[in-house]
Each structure stands twice: as structure tokens, then as C-alpha cells.
Amino acid sequence: MEKELQNYTNYLSVEKGLAKNTLESYRRDLRKLYGFMKKLEITDLQLVSRDDINQFIFELKKQGCATSSISRCIASIRSFFNFLLQEGLIEKNPAIELESPRLEKKLPRVLTTDEVEKLLSQPSPFEHNGLRDRAMLELLYASGIRVSELVSLNITDFEPQVGFLRCRGKGMKERIVPIGSVAINYVNEYLDKSRAKLLKKNGEPALFVNHHGRRMTRQGFWKILKKYALKSNIHGEITPHTLRHSFATHLIENGADLRSVQEMLGHSDISTTQIYTQITKRKIREVYDKTHPRA
């Protein structure tokens, strides 16, 4: 198998142009298979059966390998035997019908209400940049909009009198999102005291502008959020989507119905929104385990 493995990795490198790290992953997976086949005393690749490979996969599961690693290993094996078939070294691919394990959906990170409060309180209210940053953070958490939607907002999209925000989501699909009084107050304060000071020229339609007086960019907001996340000393990574996830989860925890949250988030499919119900169930379980005397 060593010779075939070398020919195969040469093929992946030259014909497919795969990166060195990817090649090493393929090689590592196939060496594991080779070692397992030696234990079964199978030295001829023609004799490897689907059951033999399934045994190998079962062994990986017993060893506690991650689902993603097993899926990649199956893909490596399937591709390797397909190469051998094309080269005429075997008569059939025993891995062709192998099923990859279903990858577990990782639940998104969600901040507690105390952590949100801690993060939002970091910008200085005595600086023009600080007022702008507080307004952006408050608006992001109050509305659950994406960072791309936040930086795309124009002044005319902010309607404080009726408590709504007009934003354009994926595919430029427009939706109306309600916003609370706290976010409205901070955005109004930013507009009254800071925006004009940050502008370099009139006529800029963007609601939030950077230090050059132009529309805030996604990258610019990421840097701002990263700065305040570090200052807040909150454990774990915080991204703009963390506030979106926290917005949805906190709504559902407090009794909001799934359809309303779906509308506010701009999800086309309610199954995407349902992940937040799993988060609330997990939290309930954690509370029970910590507090019930017989948990």
C-alpha cells in the first residue's frame, strides 16, 4: 500500500494541486487505514471490503475521534480507492457507498444579559467615537441585524418617532425591524452630538461614519467590537453575530414566538431560527443541573 499511497499523493499534488497541509491530512488518514488492515492481516488492496472499512470507522469512533475527523477520513478513503479504480489496480471501490456521519450543529455562542450590559458600557460617552460606538452596539443588540446591515444603514432608515429601523438584508431584501427606547436614545445622542463632528463633508448618507467621515465598514466595526470585547474581559470570542444570537435567544427566553423572531432576523426558513430554541433548552438543563438537589 505504501507505493500506491505515494502515487496517490503525487497525483493529488500534481494533478489536483492540493495544499501541503491537505495532502498531509489525506496521508495521515490513509496510514491509519493501512495500519488497521495490517491488524486484520489484509495486505492486498483488492481484498479490502466495505465491511473492513466499516470496522475501521467503528474503531475510530471507539477511540473518540471527532465527527468532523471521521467524515474527512471517509472522504480520504473514498477518494483513494477511486484513484486505485481509475488506475486499474482494483476492480471495484469498496468505499463508494460509505455514509459520512451527520455533523453535529454547534450551538452559537450567546452572551448573558449581564455580559451584554458589560460590553455595551465600554465605550466612553465623553468622546465622539465613543458615542458612535455605543450607538452601534446598542442598535445591533436591540435589532438583531447583521453587521453588513448595520453599516449599510442610512440616516433615512432610522425612524425614531415610530421605533423602527429599515434595513436591507441578503439579496437587498428590505425589512422593517422594531428597536427599543434605549437604542433610540443612544442613536439620537450620537446624531445630535457626534456625527457632524466626525463628518468631513456634507452629503454623506450613512448613519454611522468612521474617523475619515465616510461610511463605517464591516472591517472597521469588527476592530471596534474586538477592542471593547478585550476591555470587557468577557470569556470567549465575541463577534458581531454573537450580539445577533444573543438578541434572538433573549427574546425567546422571555416568551417571544418563533415566527416573530424569524421576521426580525430576516430568516427565509424558520428551521434556521429554531436553533435558538435549542439554546434555551440547553440553558434550562444547565439551570436544573446546578440547582435541583437530586439532579
Q: What is the CATH number of the domain that holds 40?
A: 1.10.150.130
Q: Does 92 fall in a domain?
A: no
Sheet containing strand 158-159, strands side by side: 158-159, 164-168, 174-178
What's the rounded Cα separation, in Å, for the pair 220 and 151? 10
Contact 17, 65 (CB under 8 A): no
> Do 80 and 189 belong together in one domain?
no
Q: Number of folded domains in the chain?
A: 2
Residue pair 193/131 in contact by the 8 Å Cβ criterion: yes
Together in a domain, 280 and 195 = yes
Same domain, 145 and 78: no
Q: What are phi and psi of 274, to 5 degrees?
A: -65, -20
Range(s) of the domain holding residue 283: 113-291
Name the strand (E) or helix (H) holding 84.
helix 67-86
Based on the fold, state whether residues 151 and 73 are members of the same structural domain. Answer: no
Catalytic residue list: 146, 170, 241, 244, 267, 276
- The amino acid that residue 135 corresponds to is A
Per-block mean pLDDT, blocks of 10 residues, the chain (295 long): 82 79 86 89 85 90 85 88 88 80 69 94 94 97 93 95 88 86 96 93 92 94 95 90 91 86 84 75 65 59
- Statement to judge: residues 260 and 129 lie in one domain: yes
Q: What is the pTM of this model?
A: 0.62
